[in-house]
């Protein structure tokens, strides 16, 4: 598959204003059609190691699977399996080397395949969708739901959404890659439409910048993704830049149906 004509991808990662090093890692590929973002955690530089392994391994796995054409398995399953492999690799590294003990990482991955977006995530890194409507205002939605203590508290009604903004538990994630031998990956599939803009981000963005401001940025600067990415990072830093901040923006330029095998193509042709 070559999605270079169908996807425009820009990305930006920044250590922020407070922390000296960047534990976020990102990888994008508009030929294979994916974007991956990971926010590492753990002492010293173990966080960087965990997010680095996650992004590199997952990118390699997806590239290999997609290089030869359509994947042999369902793409949702493919992403899930690749993320699980990555989890084992990080977990084993953490077990075998004491300096990496306890390291982990969040992950959000978007794979574009056959006019669909497959979203896999673990932890509190997010995917948002900005979609313009033919009639009415554009929609801006958070597609992933954080795997965090706070989100659980909201879901169970213990805490209101407004109070959540002030909570001190924002940073407690309930799922992470590399912490346990197995991981529960959440995978979703959605239709992707030309004109959609997808935003993958680490919590360094959404802890610092409200959803309304992110929405405003995409609606005003959507024509220039490069500038939109810079503006998002700048806003996070202007608001304090307490954490590393990473953003990936993906615009769908046109439909991208998967190529059919010769048999499918012929049978479709005969049915005409």
Partner 1 sequence: MAKLIINLDGQLLSEFELDKERITIGRKPHNDIPIDNLAISGEHAAITTFHNGAFIEDLGSTNGTLVNQQPITKHALHHGDEIEIGKYRLKYVNIQELGSKIEAHENDAHDFERTMILRPSHVPTTLSGDNPTSDMMAHTIPLILPEAAQRAETAARPNATAAEAREPHAVVQILSGANAGKELELTKTLTSLGKPGIQVAVITRRPHGYFLTHVQGDHYPAVNGQELDAHPRQLADHDMIELAGVKMEFYLK
In the stretch 27-66, what mask flags binding to partner 1 with x, by CB under 8 A? --------------xxx-----------------------
Considering the complex, state which of residue 41 and residue 108 has its C-beta at the smaller distance from partner 1.
41
Q: Binding to partner 1 (CB under 8 A): which residues in 129-188?
A: 149, 165-168, 170-176, 179-180
Q: Is residue 217 near partner 1 by the rule CB under 8 A? A: yes
Q: Which of 36, 58, 235, 248 binds partner 1 (CB under 8 A)?
A: 235
Considering the complex, state which of residue 8 and residue 114 has its C-beta at the smaller distance from partner 1.
8
Q: Is residue 21 near partner 1 by the rule CB under 8 A? A: no
Q: Is residue 224 near partner 1 by the rule CB under 8 A? A: yes
Q: Is residue 15 near partner 1 by the rule CB under 8 A? A: no
Which DSSP string do the residues of the chain spell out, in sequence order? ---TTTEEEEEEEE-TTT-SS--EEEEEETTTTEEEEEEEESTTTHHHHHHHHHHHHHHHHHHHHHHTSS-SS-HHHHHHHHHHHHHHHHHHHHHH-GGGTT-EE-EEEEEEETTEEEEEEESS-EEEEEE--SSSPPEEEE-S---BHHHHHHHTTSS-HHHHTT-TTTT-BS--BTSSSS---EEEEEE--TT-EEEEE-HHHHTTS-HHHHHHHHHHHTT-HHHHHHHHHHHHHHTT--S-EEEEEEEE-S--PPPPPHHHHHHHHHT-
Rounded to the nearest whole angstrom, what is the least distance from the CB of residue 213 to partner 1 in the complex? 6
Q: Which residues bind partner 1 (CB under 8 A)?
A: 18-19, 41-43, 101-102, 104, 149, 165-168, 170-176, 179-180, 207-208, 213, 216-217, 220-221, 223-224, 227, 231, 234-235, 238-240, 242-243
């Amino acid at each position: 598959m070559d999605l270079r004509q169908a996807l425009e991808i820009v990305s930006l990662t920044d250590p922020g204003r407070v922390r000296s090093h960047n534990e976020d890692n990102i990888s994008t590929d508009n030929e294979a059609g994916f974007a991956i973002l990971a926010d590492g955690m753990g002492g010293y530089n173990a966080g960087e190691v965990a997010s680095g392994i996650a992004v590199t391994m997952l990118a390699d796995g997806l590239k290999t699977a997609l290089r030869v054409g359509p994947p042999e398995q369902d793409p949702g399953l493919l992403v899930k399996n690749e993320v699980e492999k990555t989890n084992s690799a990080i977990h084993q590294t953490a077990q075998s080397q004491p300096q990496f003990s306890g390291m982990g990482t969040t992950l959000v991955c978007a794979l574009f395949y056959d006019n669909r977006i497959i979203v896999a995530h673990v932890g509190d890194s997010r995917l948002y969708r900005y979609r313009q409507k033919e009639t009415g205002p554009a929609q801006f939605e958070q597609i992933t739901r954080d795997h965090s203590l706070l989100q659980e508290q909201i879901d169970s009604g213990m805490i209101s959404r407004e109070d959540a903004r002030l909570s001190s538990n924002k940073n407690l994630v309930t799922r992470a890659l590399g912490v346990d031998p197995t991981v529960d990956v959440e995978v979703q599939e959605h239709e992707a439409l030309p004109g959609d803009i997808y935003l993958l981000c680490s919590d360094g963005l959404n802890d610092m910048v409200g959803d309304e401001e992110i929405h405003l940025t995409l609606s005003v600067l959507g024509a220039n993704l490069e500038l939109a990415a810079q503006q998002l990072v700048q806003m996070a830093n202007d608001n304090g830049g307490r954490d590393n901040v990473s953003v990936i923006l993906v615009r769908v330029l046109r439909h991208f149906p998967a190529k059919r095998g010769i048999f499918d193509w012929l049978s479709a042709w005969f049915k005409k």
